[in-house]
């Protein structure tokens, strides 16, 4: 049963205060999410190659334990490497065939680090601990079924569309600061970007933290010259959002203080605070739309690393956002939508225990005019053929999870 009702109340973008956060590519929590998902994709690929289907696994329990570093002008030193813990459950053997799960996990993690963190050397700066173990027989039994799998958990997820101007600004700003063009012009900046946006009425305040890699910084004075250049570049980028806000203020590396030398500025040896200041954990960072939107309903379920064909913590998280967007794009009378999906363990993943849609309608539109369109769209995407295609796309990493 699909329940559809009008979305009442003031839209988030028109409320008095709105707060949105994004943890960037090099943030320890984001690193952990990306690595867990990369391992998930690699294991799914290996299982399909060997057995023609994804087997039981969940790689959503992981920790990146911070190391120790000594920062210094002209370049500091890593005193103790970071430690990556990869945990939860996987299929190590099936049909008499053994799968090198630990080796796949470690190699995949190294490949991701090498590709995405310019100053981290996976062999030198990180150590690896695999604590994966075989899963429970009852959950593994789900994978003996052909076709769509049964949900391996009772869970709920909620998605929405469209993004507010503040959400767009926060998301775009981090992506810009970690984009190829910006890094080519300012290679001295690290990947550990964190953006917090607060809107009060139509006034925007952005607080951004981004380290400068110490090997490029010769002095405190040189740091502040470079910081001023970067700050000016960010302000120029933010002008693209000027039409949405009456005023915009930027707070960049707010802890900096002149006259304190190396201890008064945001330096990093490797470009990530995981080198010595902050550990990371799967599920503590961005939601699947890339944001932590404090004024929106959201699930705390971690999607990264979860099984793409049976775990509704991944499937429904991504599907709910996708359905909300499709409703807004394909039902012209709807300007905003929230989709809630609830699973019941054991039910096929295309048979949610509950589906709730809240739709904000354009002026003059009636709920009875759109209910059939919305229900039909959702039913189409829950058909076995469509869900099989969707879960296959998830297994190949088509949709981002952080």
C-alpha distances in angstroms, 137 versus 66, 95, 96, 143, 241? Answer: 35, 15, 16, 10, 53
Please write the tens of the pLDDT for every residue from 24-45: 999 999 999 999 999 999 999 9
Q: Which of 136-140, 169-173, 271-275 is predicted with the least confidence, judged by mean pLDDT?
A: 136-140
Please, which residues have CB within 8 angstroms of residue 44's CB and are 6 or more apart in sequence?
54, 308, 395, 396
Residue 147 pLDDT exceeds 90: no
Kindly provide the b/e burial profile for residues 54-74, where b requires at least 16 CB atoms within 10 angstroms of the residue's own CB: bbbbbbbbbbbbbbebebebe
Please, which residues have CB within 8 angstroms of residue 304's CB and are 6 or more apart in sequence?
32, 33, 34, 36, 37, 40, 60, 282, 283, 401, 402
Q: Does domain 13-23+167-275 have CATH number 3.30.300.340?
A: yes
Please write the tens of the pLDDT for every residue from 252-297: 999 999 999 888 999 999 999 999 999 999 999 999 999 999 999 9
Q: How many residues does the chain have?
A: 402
Domain boundaries along the sequence of the chain: 13-23+167-275
Mean pLDDT of 81-87: 97
The CA distance from 200 to 205, in Å, is: 8
- What is the pTM (predicted TM-score) of this model? 0.96
CA angle 266, 35, 217 (to 5 degrees): 20
DSSP labels, 152-211: SS--EEEEEESPPHHHHHHHHHHHHHTSHHHHHH-TTB-S--EEEEEEETTEEEEEEE--
Query: Which among 380, 171, 131 has a CA at the least distance from the CA of 293?
Result: 171
Read off the pLDDT band of 251 (50, 70, 90). very high
Strand order of the β-sheet with 57-65 is: 126-133, 82-90, 57-65, 280-281
């Amino acid at each position: 049963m699909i329940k559809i009702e009008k979305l009442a109340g003031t839209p988030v973008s028109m409320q008095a205060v709105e707060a949105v956060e994004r943890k960037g590519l090099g943030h320890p929590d984001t690193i952990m999410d990306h690595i867990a998902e990369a391992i998930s994709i690699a294991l799914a690929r290996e299982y399909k190659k060997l057995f023609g289907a994804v087997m039981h696994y969940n790689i959503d329990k992981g920790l990146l334990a911070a190391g120790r570093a000594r920062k210094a002008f002209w370049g500091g030193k890593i005193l103790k490497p970071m430690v990556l813990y990869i945990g939860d459950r996987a299929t190590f053997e099936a049909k008499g065939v053994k799968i090198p799960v630990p080796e796949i996990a470690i190699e995949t993690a190294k490949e991701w680090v090498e590709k995405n963190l310019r100053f981290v050397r996976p062999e030198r700066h990180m150590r690896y601990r695999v604590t994966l173990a075989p899963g429970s027989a009852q959950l593994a039994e789900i994978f003996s079924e052909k076709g769509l799998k049964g949900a391996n958990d009772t869970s709920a997820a909620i998605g929405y569309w469209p993004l507010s101007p503040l959400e767009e600004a926060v998301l775009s700003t981090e992506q810009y600061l970690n984009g190829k063009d910006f890094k080519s012009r300012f290679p001295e900046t690290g990947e550990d970007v964190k953006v917090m946006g607060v809107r009060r009425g139509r006034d925007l305040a952005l607080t951004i933290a981004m380290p400068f890699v110490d090997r490029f910084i010769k002095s405190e004075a040189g740091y502040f010259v470079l910081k001023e250049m970067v700050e000016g570049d960010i302000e120029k980028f933010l002008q693209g959002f000027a039409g949405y806000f009456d005023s915009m203020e930027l707070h960049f590396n707010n802890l900096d203080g002149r006259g304190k030398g190396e201890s008064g500025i945001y330096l990093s040896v490797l470009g990530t605070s995981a080198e010595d200041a902050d550990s990371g954990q799967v599920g503590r960072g961005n939601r699947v739309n890339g944001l932590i939107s404090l004024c929106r309903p959201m699930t705390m379920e971690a999607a990264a690393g979860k099984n793409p064909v049976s775990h509704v913590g991944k499937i429904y998280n991504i599907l709910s956002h996708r359905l909300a967007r499709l409703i807004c794009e394909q039902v012209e009378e709807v300007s905003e939508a929230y989709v809630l999906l609830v699973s019941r363990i054991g039910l096929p993943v295309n048979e949610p225990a509950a589906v709730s849609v809240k739709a904000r309608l354009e002026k003059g539109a009636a709920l009875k005019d759109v209910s059939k369109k919305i229900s039909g769209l959702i039913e189409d995407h829950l058909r076995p053929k469509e869900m099989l295609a969707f879960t296959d796309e998830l297994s190949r990493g088509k949709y981002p999870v952080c």
